Amino acid sequence: MHRRLAWSWLAIVTVLVVLLATLLPKARLDSSVLSLLPASSLGKVPPQIENGFLQRLDRQMMWMVSPGNQPDPAAAQWWQTQLQQQPFLAGVQGPMDAKGQQEWGKFYFEHRNGLVDNQTRGRLQNGGEAQAQWVLSQLYSAFSGVSGKELTNDPLMLVRGSQLALQQTASQMRLMNGWLVARDKQGRYWYLLHGELKGSSFDMQQGRKAVEQLQALQQNLKQHFPQAEVMSRGTLFYSDYASQQAKHDVSTLGLATVIGVLLLVLAVFRSVRPLLLCATSVAIGALAGTAITLLCFGELHLMTLVMSMSIVGVSADYTLYYLTERMVHGGENSPIASLRKVLPALLLALATTAIAYLIMILAPFPGIRQLAVFAASGLIASCLTVVCWYPFAVRGLPIRAVPCSRLLTAWLEAWQNQKAVRFGVPLALLMVSLAGMASLKINDDIASFQALPQDLVREEQAITALTGQGMDQKWLVVYGDTAEQTLQRLEKLAPELAEAKKQKAIESYRLIPLASLEQQQADLQLLREAAPILQKRLAESGIPVTAPNLQQMAVTPDLWQKSVISSGWRLLWLSLPDGKSGALVPVNGVHNSELLANIAAKLPGVSWVDRKVMFNELFSHFRSLLTILLAAAVVAIAISYVLRLGVKRGLLSVVPSLLSLGCGLAALSFSGHTLNLFSLLALVLVLGIGINYTLFFSNPRGTPLTSLLAISVALLTTLFTLGMLVFSQTQAIASFGIVLSCGIFCAFLTAPLALPTQGKRE
């Protein structure tokens, strides 16, 4: 009978494996945090454009090399040569050489009628009288450097106009020998270099190597130029720092975990098999969860995966409960009989937990829905593995009496007979919970989750101060079905931004200096109207000029991107093969994020992206949502208890769950942490684990001592695994560990509350 059950489960597991194998290649593993947001709040930026920009920005690298207080490009030149030899870098750019400068001027001259800047456009309005005056003023100015040749070739001085306009939009840097150079307050000169990573900057191994190589180069530079200094900027450095930190966590905490769990299992069971069995049930749970979630949603978010895995990890409790039962009563009962004994508690725990997690399917977030389905199906599969397979897997496991039985018995006795314990412990925990929760602070600021390395932050700030280009990750994305549409939308946005700057809502912004063909046509019309006036005014001043060339000189985005003049701007423009295009407008010094959001909402094809605000909103959204879901889950659990056990015992059985949640939060508050999304996620786990402990105890067929041993082992296992996260160097993870450890410890302490009282049992 049971044998058939085992074979059927094997068949189902095989089906799940096949399912996963077919689904996985087609599935999309989504790792963008933004896609966790509800679809409506994302804006309508085509995802390819958004991803294209983000990937590109993540690849950017920037260096500033200082030779000291005297300007000297040698150190920067050396640095550039070294960078160009690095296989992981592409497009390393330093100074613009003479040839580049010539090409630059040539392109501007040959396309001057299509590259009219805003200021010139303003002077050309109303017949171009103002442009004529401006040309005259340039001619008369001793320092303008207008030559006869320039006047003959470009009488409207369009090239001059657009260059002056560019210089004004340019950063706070000056040009020295072709290099962009800034000077800091201490008088040091800094030379700017750009480059791009060849691969994605999140490839951990490659990132580490690149950072090490760059550090070595920096040492090398110091030997060649003792006065020299380098500052670097790029996502690479942050991702490398994060992965180094994670690696440190994994290697130290991971080792402690493995040794701890191994010793524990050996000490209790005198065999490593329980460890393998735990791993197997969790693995099958993860397998089933992934397959079912992919089947339902067609995709899986990375964050869901990580989170769900830890929830499914809780299912190791099922294995431990059954194995403890076997170890203690293996002598008198057959494996199947032992299973019958624990089965009601297992199924109840499973059902209650599954209900608690399935409630989350109501959430309007795809990420949390996936989590609900994953957790529920994963837990069911884990439990079924224990039920169907493990009676056959436990043969020959050592059988022994409950270790530390005197201590455990005393603990149980105290709960059943001493009012001081039965009422005192929960009351004390209640006080602690209330006191802690009263002083709990909420913080959704993503920046506070991870302490960034000070030297990286300092360099970043210094570079921002020198170049005027921050890494705020605040920008407007303008997009359209065609390049022309995108450019026209940019032109609608430009006056709004100028107004916002005037109102001091923002400090600066960067618009690509490229006009739509429609605008270029309009400019040409202006030029044709202005040319005769100019000739007349110059003639009046005794300066005869030939008629200017008024042919169309169209500059398409394609032509622009291939030309030298787009150097330094290319990052801000993206055209997809299907013609869809996007432009990035970085905005610096944002004082009023809302105003920009309003501008974006008003204009078609414009979206305001403030990554930090967006993340903070996302985190606070999820946090409040999870709070509600958690409350709903607690209510659902309470109802299920009351229905089963009656009002009094039912409500009593919820107390451990409530206290464990409360104590988890109190621990967070007392340890000086603030409440954020990660602590809420820990509470979700605490709830599931608390249910297990309570239900293992309340099983009328179970022996309380065996149950206590089982949950003691389960507690220690969880503390050795997830609890180790307390020692993580990443603050968010550490706070997760604190909530989890204290929460489940409290659940463990109060679980005997679910025991039937002594009187009733007799």
What residue ranges bind another protein (CB under 8 A)?
Answer: 123, 130, 133-134, 136-137, 139-140, 142-143, 145-149, 151-152, 167-168, 170, 172-178, 541-543
Q: Is 157 left (phi over 0), alpha (psi -120 to 50) or beta?
A: left
Contact between residue 501 and residue 509 where contact means Cβ atoms under 8 Å apart: yes
Give least dist CB 659 to another protein, A: 59
Which residue lies nearer to another protein by CB, 95 or 582? 95
Q: CB 109 → another protein: shortest distance, Å?
A: 16
Interacting residues of 356 by C-beta distance below 8 A, sequence separation 6+: 633, 634, 636, 637, 687, 688, 691
Task: Identify which of residues 147 and 219 has a Cβ nearer to another protein in the complex.
Answer: 147
> By C-beta, is 174 or 562 nearer to another protein?
174
How many angstroms separate the CA atoms of 592 and 606, rounded? 17
SS3 199: coil
Task: Determine the Cα–Cα distance for residues 725 and 719; give it in Å rounded to an integer.
Answer: 9
Compute the distance between CA of residue 170 and CA of residue 183 in angstroms, rounded to an integer. Answer: 15
Cβ 136 to another protein shortest distance, Å: 7
**Minimum CB separation from another protein for residue 130, in Å?**
6
**Sequential DSSP letters for 473-533:** -EEEEEEESSHHHHHHHHHHHHHHHHHHHHTTS-SEE---S---HHHHHHHHHHHHHHHHH
Distance (Å, whole) CA 83 – CA 71:
21
Which is it for strands 508-509 and 229-234: parallel, antiparallel or unpaired? unpaired
CB of 461 vs another protein, minimal distance in Å: 17
Q: Which is nearer to another protein, 360 or 538 (CB)?
A: 538
Shortest approach of another protein to residue 467 CB, angstroms?
A: 12
3-state secondary structure 113-126: HHCCCHHHHHHHCH
Strand, helix or coil at 663? helix
Q: How far apart are CA 746 and CA 329, in angstroms?
A: 28
**Nearest distance, CB of residue 573 and another protein, angstroms:** 24
Judged by CB, which is closer to another protein: 90, or 136? 136
Rg (CA), the chain: 34
Do residues 374 and 293 touch, judged by C-beta distance below 8 A?
Answer: yes
Burial of 332 (0-12, 13-18, 19+ CB in 10 A): exposed
**DSSP assignment string, 712-748:** HHHHHHHHHHGGGGGG-SSHHHHHHHHHHHHHHHHHH
Alpha-helical regions (H) of 27-66: 47-59
CB of 534 to another protein, least distance (A): 14
Give the nearest distance from C-beta 580 to another protein in angstroms: 34
Cβ distance to another protein smaller for residue 179 or 736: 179
Written as one string, the DSSP assignment of 680-712 is: HHHHHHHHHHHHHHHHHHH-TTS-HHHHHHHHH
Task: Output 55 or 69, the one with its CB closest to another protein.
Answer: 69
Comparing CB distances to another protein, the nearer of 58 and 529 is 529
Smallest gap, in angstroms, from Cβ of residue 150 to another protein?
8
Minimum CB separation of residue 164 from another protein in Å reads 8
Residue 456: CB atoms within 10 Å: 16
Residue 163 or 280: which CB sits closer to another protein?
163
When the beta carbons of 63 and 189 are compared against another protein, the nearer one is: 189
Choice between 273 and 537, CB closer to another protein? 537
Tokens 């005198």 map to which residue? Answer: 270
State the Cα angle at 349 between 256 and 6, rounded to 5°: 85
Please say whether the beta carbons of 687 and 744 come within 8 A: no
Our CB check for another protein shows the closer of 382 and 469 to be 469
Minimum CB distance to another protein smaller for 414 or for 543: 543
User: What is the closest distance, in whole angstroms, from the C-beta atom of residue 565 to another protein in the complex?
Assistant: 17
CB of 452 to another protein, least distance (A): 28
Compute the distance between CA of residue 201 and CA of residue 425 in angstroms, rounded to an integer.
52
